[in-house]
Amino acid sequence: MAAISMTHGLIVASVLFSLGLLGVLVRRNIVFILMSIEVMLNAAGLAFVVAGARWGEVDGQIMFLFILTMAAAEVAVGLTLVVQIYRRLGTLDADAASMLRG
Amino acid sequence: MVTTFYAAAVVAIVATALAISQKNVVHGLLYLIVSLLAVALMFLALGAPFVAALEVIIYAGAIMVLFVFVMMLLNLGPRTVEQERRWLPPRIWIGPLVLAGVLLVELIAALASGGPMTSGLMGDPRQVGIVLFGPYVLGVELASMLLLSGLVGAYHLGRQGPERN
């Protein structure tokens, strides 16, 4: 059984990360920005697991668990902010929330 | 498992590209869930079944449900039913269904081939647990504190504050 090339795995991870970065830069809907951040975190976790598979160590999987925890905490706070922004501004446009006061 | 990995990688990239280019948030979420399932299949092909299961349960399950929940919360009112019908017409399911079907066919083919499901390079869940609570136990404690602060932060931010505008 041929092993999966680490280079190809890292290429897939970087393509996914680039797509997430593109989403953050291009989209102005806050929920899409949060989704793109999730895609980027997921791609980082994929890179960790691919690297762990290359050397046959479980450390890559451990790092993915930590990334998963961080993503869960981040998305809880981020979605709460989305709810607050929608409640106060009545829109999901990120450009509308440009006044950082109060 | 090599073909499974590459096919899942193609599905993941296509689904992610479609997810960030949708106009409607709920349509994007559908594609994002398919993308996460594809990444889970990639983990399985890489020999990390524990992480693949967690990807499905936590990412595609809990986090995406949170997204869908908030999207539904933002649109309360009598027009919700009509809006939901407009959000999810039957044809919008076609794309995610096709991509998810490709993943299902891959999984069935990999299971039916009878060989080892993974390339067998990485540790099983037991080894992951031993390492997680051995050298990385400090990280586990930090993760618990991070989750607690996330909980407190979400509760604080989510209070019904004074209305503006």
> Which of A15, A65, A81 lies at the smallest CB-CB distance from B132?
A65
- Yes or no, beta carbons of B5 and A4 under 8 Å apart: yes
B154: Cβ contacts below 8 Å, ≥ 6 apart = A76, A77, A79, A80
Domain ranges of chain B: 2-122
pLDDT tens digit string along A36-84? 999 999 999 999 999 988 888 888 899 999 999 999 999 999 999 888 8
Poorest-pLDDT segment among A79-83, A95-99, B101-105, B144-148: A95-99
Q: Which fold has domain A30-91?
A: Helix Hairpins (1.10.287)
Question: Per-residue confidence at B109, pLDDT binned at 50, 70, 90?
Answer: confident
In this predicted structure, the answer to whether residue B96 has a pLDDT above a threshold of 90 is no
Contact check, Cβ <8 Å, B122/A88: no
So where are chain A's domains?
Answer: 30-91
Is any Cβ of chain A less than 8 angstroms from the Cβ of B161? yes
pLDDT at B138: 94
Give B111's contacts (C-beta < 8 A, 6+ positions apart).
B117
- B14-40 in b/e form (b: 16+ CB < 10 A) is bbbbbbbbbeebbbbbbbbbbbbbbbb
CB contact under 8 A, A73 and B149: yes
Mean pLDDT of the region B2-16: 90
Rounded Cα distance between B25 and B43, Å, is 27
Option in A23, A81, A86 nearest B157 (CB): A81
Residue B116 has pLDDT above 90, yes or no: no
Q: How far apart are CA B64 and CA B72, in angstroms?
A: 12
pLDDT the model gives residue A84: 87
What's chain B's average pLDDT? 83
% of chain A surpassing 90 pLDDT = 53
Express each pLDDT in B140-155 by its tens digit: 999 999 999 999 999 9
ipTM of this complex prediction, to 2 decimal places:
0.90
Cβ A38–B143 below 8 Å, yes or no? Answer: no
Give CB contacts under 8 A, 24+ apart, made by B115-120.
B115/A1, B115/B1, B116/A1, B117/B1, B117/B44, B117/B49, B118/B1, B118/B44, B118/B45, B118/B46, B118/B47, B118/B48, B118/B49, B119/A1, B119/A3, B119/A4, B119/A53, B119/B1, B119/B45, B119/B46, B119/B47, B120/B47
Using CB atoms and an 8 Å cut-off, which of residues 48-87 of chain A contact chain B? 49-50, 52-53, 56-62, 64-66, 68-77, 79-84, 86-87
Reported as a pLDDT band with limits 50, 70 and 90, residue B24 is confident
pLDDT at residue A1 is higher than 70:
no
Nearest to B8 by CA among A69, A55, A4, A33: A4
At residue B71, the pLDDT reads: 83
Q: How distant is the Cα of A72 from the closest Cα of chain B, in angstroms? A: 7
Reference B144, options A65, A39, A80, A60; nearest CA is A65
Mean pLDDT of B26-35: 90
> If you search the block for the tokens 């979605």, which residue do you land on?
A79
Residue B95: what pLDDT? 84
A80 chain-B contacts, CB cut-off 8 A: 153-154, 157-158
pLDDT, residue B121, reads 53
CATH number of B2-122: 1.20.120.1200
Judging contacts by C-beta atoms under 8 Å, the chain B residues touching residue A16 are: 12-13, 16, 35, 39
